Amino acid sequence: MSLDEVRDKLIHSGLKVTPQRVAILEAVVNLNNHPTVEQIIDYIRISQPNISTATVYKVLDALVENALIKRVNTERDITRYDAILEPHHHIYYPDSNTIEDYIDHELTDLLKTHFGKKEIPGVIIEDIKLQIVGRCKKTAAEK
């Protein structure tokens, strides 16, 4: 994604376009493996060498608030971010502490159909997160 596209996204969400926001959103979009704050700061170091960590956190909060990115995390991890907004799932590998996207339209449809039919009384469903905890067959064999 180009910087101009990133700028458009910010404008479209009613967010002021600042160099810091452009850099951070671009980072999350282009660092595609669920980067941590540290990885984001590392990535934007060239264009934003002296950015304050407080700013990074505040910008990420604003991007999540405005649905431009999502937070992802596991049961044993610091916060990570994801710029993929279309419905998808995640595989978490505890052995390597990594997160991978898992695209499975059949599964997405299955869930959609299920929760389309089945209401949960008193609850408005805003999102459904499915996370597979897995092990690489290769890694597992080594054990």
Cβ-based nearer residue to DNA, 2 or 125: 2
Restricted to residues 94-123, the positions that interact with its own copies (CB under 8 A) are 102, 104, 106-107, 110, 114, 118, 120, 122-123
DSSP state for residue 36 in the 8-state scheme: B
Please enumerate in sequence order all residues whose Cβ is within 8 A of that of 9, keeping only pairs 6 or more positions apart, or say none. 25, 68
Q: What's the closest the beta carbon of residue 89 comes to DNA, in angstroms?
A: 22
102 binds, among DNA, its own copies, none (CB under 5 to 8 A by kind): its own copies
CA-nearest of 66, 56, 86 to 13 is 66
Please enumerate in sequence order all residues whose Cβ is within 8 A of that of 116, keeping only pairs 6 or more positions apart, or say none. none
Q: Which residues of the shown chain bind its own copies in the complex (CB under 8 A)?
A: 70-73, 75-76, 79, 91, 102, 104, 106-107, 110, 114, 118, 120, 122-138, 140
